[in-house]
A and B are shown apart, each in its own frame.
Chain A
């Protein structure tokens, strides 16, 4: 069974930092691109970052560029999101999600398995 388990969220002051982790199991981690999606309280879904299977390509939403960094350790089957200079508007549930797979054209960025999420609250 494919499983994704996020950790690392918490209450942090504005300007602070956190490192989110997503431990995975049940699939060949290095073969799949991975993403982070967040959801502010009562709001919709916001994609924030993606990374290819071998880490050769990374993508970030403009709203987090320069503050967030995505990475992965394929030897540990774990995805990371380093989040710096936190702002109140970063308060959200952060989900990691596995993407559907790949084909001739590259990765298919549909998110077919999601973790339960980890909550980040930015407040003084």
Chain B
């Protein structure tokens, strides 16, 4: 199975800050990676697919980079509505696996 490891587990930042979340795969997955945002009590929402493609309707302050084993999700200017937990997911092979999540909070 491909293990997905996210870091940090939580981050506290101010409005307008740049926030970067990392995701590492235990083996190469090309660009078969997605990022999701989950707000409390809600279902996850797809932000990024294929490592760097922005899902329709997602604000352009979200961006994704990486290939192989190392990936990043960046929020260029943190907004209050971005407070959430973010998960990465590999779509290279079954079983599909998620990272443990990164909680983004406001300072």
A residues touching B (Cβ–Cβ < 8 Å)? 35, 37, 44-47, 50, 59, 61-62, 95, 100, 108-117
Contacts and interface: CB of A to CB of B under 8 A. Distances in A.
Contacts, number: 57
Interface residues of B, number: 22
Q: Could you tell me the dominant secondary structure of chain B's interface residues? A: loop
Contact of A110 (B34, B87, B94, B99): B34
Contact of B49 (A44, A46, A100, A115): A100
Interface of B: 34, 36, 38, 42-46, 49-50, 55, 87, 89, 91, 94-101
B95 A47 contact: yes
B87 A44 contact: yes
Nearest to B85: A44
B94 to A, nearest CB: 5
A44 B100 contact: yes
A114 B95 contact: no
Given A109-B91, A110-B91, A47 B98 contact: yes
